[in-house]
């Protein structure tokens, strides 16, 4: 597997969403994820209510969305 980075990484990081398509109106199911690009260039999937410019918490272990900040 990939070499671990030197030092202890936090379990999650807060990143700004820089590019994601508009959410579907009245979308209530959070399991319908959409593509999103973070300020670091990381590509992940976020719930439909997340918009460009919002800060979200991303797991450093999996790169997956955890919550809005």
Q: Strand (E) positions, the chain?
A: 12-19, 34-38, 43-46, 55-59, 65-68
Over the range 43-60, which residues count as b (16 or more CB within 10 Å of their CB) and which as e?
ebebbbebeeeeebebee
- Where residue 6 falls among pLDDT bands split at 50, 70, 90? low
What average pLDDT does this structure show over 2-14? 77
pLDDT of residue 27: 57
pLDDT of residue 32: 82
pLDDT, tens digit (0-9, with 9 covering 90-100), for 25-62: 665 655 688 999 999 999 999 998 899 999 999 999 99
């Amino acid at each position: 597997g990939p070499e671990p980075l030197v030092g202890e990484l936090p379990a999650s990081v807060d990143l700004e969403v820089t590019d994601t398509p508009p959410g579907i109106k009245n979308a209530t199911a959070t399991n319908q994820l959409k593509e999103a690009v973070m300020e670091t260039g990381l590509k992940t999937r976020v719930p439909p209510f997340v918009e460009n410019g919002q800060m979200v918490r991303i797991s450093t272990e999996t790169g997956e969305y955890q919550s809005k900040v």
